[in-house]
Amino acid sequence: MGTAVDRHIALIGFMGAGKTTVGEEVARRTGRPFVDTDAEIEARHGPITELFDRGEAEFRRLEREIVDEALSAGVPSVIALGGGAFEAARSDRALAVLIDVDVDTAWERSRRTSRPLAHEEAAFRALFAARDYRSVADVVAEDADGVLLAGLGIRIGPGKADGDVLLIDARLRELRTFGLDQTITVQEKTLAEAWRVWSELRLGRDGTIVAYGGGTTTDLAGFVAATYMRGVRWNALPTTLVGQVDAAIGGKTAIDLPQGKNLVGAFHYPDRVGIDPRELETLPDEERRNGMAEVVKTGLLAGRPLWELAEDEMIRACAAFKAEVCLEDPYERKGRREILNLGHTFGHALEAASNYEVPHGEAVALGLKAALKLSAIEIDHPLDPQPVRLDRELAWAVLQRDKKVRRGRIRLVLLEALGKPVVREVESDEARAALDELIID
């Protein structure tokens, strides 16, 4: 199982399942190369029907060559494996994702094509029944979002904690019953808390920590998992909207220091993230609003009003978008992750200048307002955040310090259009004017 963070995503499934269409979309969205083994065979050796006429054995030999080559490539790719080549996806080098289809749909889609194994319906159905894709698949997906989620081990829907030690948020401990071999209650992501957890853990090198709570819990648990015995596995069960659309996704783990937030940490991806939107039923409104700010950020980046979707779909789409960005840039080395800072430069300035009295979500909602303004995009802000009362000069000082203003210019993530993030330098008086609009005296 595991994730596709450092591995290929191999799409398997019967003829007509849509491996090529889904694969192209996943490759485009993650910036990964796409290899369609059937297309590659045709490009090198000519039409598959003609190759088949020379005998299936020869076709399979050529196919194996191309599949081996694709799986050996050093760059993590998206590979659509020809319908008969699925056994190759047992490789450690790939996460095998089954694009499922029922036999009637597959036949309808394939019958009018020139596919050599789709000439005769009875034979087609017999072949369908004979191929056991599920025995090879690590996970099943129905669309591109499903593949992206699978790529980071994310599952949406009810699921149980799977692991050895449960780290549970103190508030949830009162609200839920839950048990693994050992349960440790946590409430803050500090060194003292990490220290306590390290000392209390009864866990071997091959053990798994499960984090059950919001971003505070998953950040701490992930950090403990990254450091304990030089790294043990962990799974996340996020219970806040922030956790489900943001914090539990993307491998960033951290603790806060008195000097600032998230100053010590590591990239350490959870093997699995179980997102159950029903967990949010007990979430206080102000915490939901914090999460909605990240949802709006994601919608602006994706270019779709995700905040208008029903909650389950909204969470799924936001989690898939974050997965897309992180699959492209898992360790923040390529730049793509930078877009996730949309609204956050101004947001951080407001948070810090208010001594963290302004909640993160409120600050980000305001930061997004500034980003929209500087991007000259006119849409009604879905959260309609109101200006906050704090020291303008202090906020401006934090903003300048944060972004190392150079030659009177400041680097920001903005939008060229909805769904088209760009990193741009803005004149500092323009930035100052946008900041001033977020503040009342």
Ligand X SMILES: NC(=O)c1ccc[n+]([C@@H]2O[C@H](COP(=O)([O-])OP(=O)(O)OC[C@H]3O[C@@H](n4cnc5c(N)ncnc54)[C@H](O)[C@@H]3O)[C@@H](O)[C@H]2O)c1
Q: How many CA atoms lie within 13 A of 66 on its CB side?
A: 23
34 - beta bridge partners? Answer: 78
- Burial 91-104, CB ≥16 within 10 A → b, else e: bebbbbbbbbbeee
Q: Which is closer to ligand X, CB of 93 or CB of 155?
A: 155
Q: Which is closer to ligand X, CB of 182 or CB of 262?
A: 262
Q: Which is closer to ligand X, CB of 27 or CB of 167?
A: 167
CB of 176 to ligand X, least distance (A): 8
CB of 402 to ligand X, least distance (A): 15
The alpha carbon of 320 is separated from its chain's Cα centroid by a whole number of angstroms, namely 5
Q: How many Å apart are CA 64 and CA 56, to the nearest integer?
A: 12
Answer yes or no: are the C-beta atoms of 117 and 123 closer than 8 Å. yes
Q: How many CA atoms lie within 13 A of 88 on its CB side?
A: 26
CB of 330 to ligand X, least distance (A): 12
Q: Which is closer to ligand X, CB of 216 or CB of 341?
A: 216
Enumerate residues 6+ apart whose C-beta is below 8 A from 310. Answer: none
Answer yes or no: are the C-beta atoms of 141 and 149 closer than 8 Å. yes
Q: Which is closer to ligand X, CB of 97 or CB of 166?
A: 166
Q: Which is closer to ligand X, CB of 242 or CB of 358?
A: 242
CB of 149 to ligand X, least distance (A): 16
CB of 335 to ligand X, least distance (A): 17
CB of 237 to ligand X, least distance (A): 10
The alpha carbon of 143 is separated from its chain's Cα centroid by a whole number of angstroms, namely 15
Q: Which is closer to ligand X, CB of 83 or CB of 270?
A: 270
Sign, CA dihedral 275-277-278-279, equals positive
Answer yes or no: are the C-beta atoms of 381 and 371 closer than 8 Å. no
Residues recorded for the chain: 441
User: Which residue ranges make up the site for ligand X (CB under 6 A)?
Assistant: 169, 171-172, 189, 213-217, 219, 239-240, 242-243, 246-247, 250, 252, 261-262, 279-280, 282-283, 287, 290
Q: Which is closer to ligand X, CB of 38 or CB of 279?
A: 279
CB of 293 to ligand X, least distance (A): 10
Q: How many Å apart are CA 197 and CA 227, to the nearest integer?
A: 11
CB of 147 to ligand X, least distance (A): 21
User: In terms of DSSP bridges, do strands 388-389 and 252-257 run parallel, antiparallel, or are they unpaired?
Assistant: unpaired
